[in-house]
Amino acid sequence: MNPHLSKLQPYPFEKLRQLFTGVTPNPQYREIRLSIGEPQHATPAFIKDALSAGLGGLASYPSTLGSGELRGSIAAWLQRRYGLPGIDAETQVIPVNGSREALFAFTQTIVDASRGYTPLVVSPNPFYQIYEGAAYLAGAEPRFLNTLPSNDYAFDFATLSETEWQRVQLFFVCSPGNPTGKVLGLDDWKQLFALADRYGFVIASDECYSEIFFDESRPPLGCLQAAHLLGRGFERLVMFSSLSKRSNVPGMRSGFVAGDAVTLRSFLLYRTYHGSAMSPAVQAASVAAWNDEAHVVENRRQYTEKLAAVTPLLSDVLATAMPDAGFYLWARAPFGDCDFARSLLADYNVILLPGSYLARTAQGINPGAGYLRIALVAPLTDCVEAARRIRSFIAKF
């Protein structure tokens, strides 16, 4: 067996299942699940129609690089969305089966454990668990930079020593952040680009929440956009995006990686052997999704409505506020996050995720401890009802 497998921790939702062992939810209340970031808005009919119409493609093996039509639709979307002057659909875009698969595979492509030292893969803390698992299974060591409300969830680059920076091969960014909703600004990117130039590491920017924002005139800044605004190219820079949140199709497993053509050439070679080409039917549906913005605007409207309704109900009891973007509330629990989640389920049948499950102890603290991640993915009425139950629960103490 691969010895690195022993380093993997249980996934947060397995920890949650274990936490709830022996708990009997109050039968007076129906379950409201706000723990998993799984979009529950309806999938647009035109995407399902395109998927059905593309079933004829199942008679052919798909190309790892995807169809020219799909890569072209993604390149055009990048240009529209980020104001980029031009994206080469042949060399700067690779369709992938969702960002989760791609983030893991990309790490295996980048990490070089043969240099006589243990490589470092840096990520924010709290973080998306794939970053850690991908690092370990590539033979690297994860390093976590705590992102704290006291510092507006910014990276503290001084956390790493000069010797550690010299070992960094890959730096994960998540903007908008999961779970904090933090969006990196141009100055943040400028600092990170300078470090990448100095030490030669690759930046992997996870932007799967980029299309869930609340002001149509101010969409979140993306890494490729930041590079363009700063007058630089995409050297050692790639972004990951997905249709799951944007278009409410998590079951389609469709996304893309875009950016540095040299880096993507190596990633394509890896994927050719990895056997992860996208189904032709999914490609056809993805083209339809990337070519349409009306359904995305409506999707944002629904999330904005839920956040606007729920945040005032919880802000005074859980010390939470509207995020920069995304559909999570990152809330401070009045007592231990695990005890809170377990007792809330027992008393009011609302399921939240303890923040400590999304982080690791680094620099002497677990930055998720004492927090709760609330995923506002359920219908508006359920989200409001859950918030009211949470208020009633807290009022008992």
Reference 201, options 249, 238, 247; nearest CA is: 238
CB 33 within 8 A of CB 378: yes
* In the predicted structure, residue 18 carries a pLDDT above the cut 90: yes
Residues in the chain: 397
* In the predicted structure, residue 397 carries a pLDDT above the cut 90: no
Mean pLDDT of the 324-346 span? 98
Alpha-carbon distance values, 79 to 86, 87, 297, 341, 379 (Å): 6, 7, 18, 43, 33
For a pLDDT cut of 90, what percent of the chain falls above it? Answer: 98
Over residues 146-177, the pLDDT tens digits come to 999 999 999 999 999 999 999 999 999 999 99
Pairing state of beta strands 168-174 and 141-146?
Answer: unpaired
For residue 349, what pLDDT is reported?
98
* In the predicted structure, residue 390 carries a pLDDT above the cut 90: yes
* In the predicted structure, residue 275 carries a pLDDT above the cut 90: no
Interatomic CA distance for residues 31 and 25, integer angstroms: 8
Interatomic CA distance for residues 371 and 358, integer angstroms: 10
For a pLDDT cut of 70, what percent of the chain falls above it? Answer: 100
For residue 235, what pLDDT is reported?
97
CATH assignment, 45-292: 3.40.640.10
CB atoms within 10 A of CB 26: 12
Mean pLDDT of the 308-323 span? 97
CATH assignment, 3-42+295-395: 3.90.1150.10
* In the predicted structure, residue 296 carries a pLDDT above the cut 90: yes
Mean pLDDT of the 62-76 span? 97
Report residue 394's pLDDT band, with 50, 70 and 90 as the boundaries.
Answer: very high
Across the chain, mean pLDDT equals 97
For residue 232, what pLDDT is reported?
96
Over residues 45-66, the pLDDT tens digits come to 999 999 999 999 999 999 999 9
Residue 164: exposure state from Cβ atoms within 10 A (0-12, 13-18, ≥19): middle
**Predicted TM-score of the model (pTM):** 0.97
Alpha-carbon distance values, 66 to 63, 202, 245 (Å): 5, 24, 21
Over residues 104-129, the pLDDT tens digits come to 999 999 999 999 999 999 999 999 99
Query: Would you kindly state where each structural domain of the chain is located, as residue ranges?
Result: 3-42+295-395, 45-292
Report residue 384's pLDDT band, with 50, 70 and 90 as the boundaries.
Answer: very high
For residue 208, what pLDDT is reported?
97
Interatomic CA distance for residues 315 and 321, integer angstroms: 6
For residue 276, what pLDDT is reported?
87
Over residues 177-236, the pLDDT tens digits come to 999 999 999 999 999 999 999 999 999 999 999 999 999 999 999 999 999 999 999 999
Calculate the CA dihedral of residues 278, 280, 286, 288 and round it to 10 degrees.
170
* In the predicted structure, residue 361 carries a pLDDT above the cut 90: yes
Report residue 382's pLDDT band, with 50, 70 and 90 as the boundaries.
Answer: very high
Indicate the residue type of 16: L
